[in-house]
Structure 1
């Protein structure tokens, strides 16, 4: 959406019609407050040692070499750095 686009909100009548459709749907489930409180969050479980997001610059040939190995190239790059650290001392 660009800055000149207009956002049109539903009218109260349209909202009521949408809600009637939701209420008529047999697959709609509205949990009670107690059920909602017992629900577990969705998504991945938290990692014991989460990754750190950062911005870094590598030479193009290095990145292309890892990308050429297919999906999972970032993990392989991480593994290569970890392997390097085994034989080199971090400053």
Structure 2
């Protein structure tokens, strides 16, 4: 029996191509969800770390301290 070289498996055989096509068609592309347009006047809850003395200064004015912080931030942002 003569030793015949084995036929090398190529990367382009039908099975490999089918597996690659399946993977391409079933893999989800990670996309960020589209950001919704901001509605004027709607506020978003966030966590914000500020210095204790700054917080106390705003709170000394009584109720509405969060609104005063928001107004100060709007003024600083040029809005």
TM-score, normalised on structure 1?
0.41
Give the number of the structure with larger relative contact order, counting CA–CA contacts within 8 Å between residues 6 or more apart. Answer: 2
The structure with more radius of gyration: 2
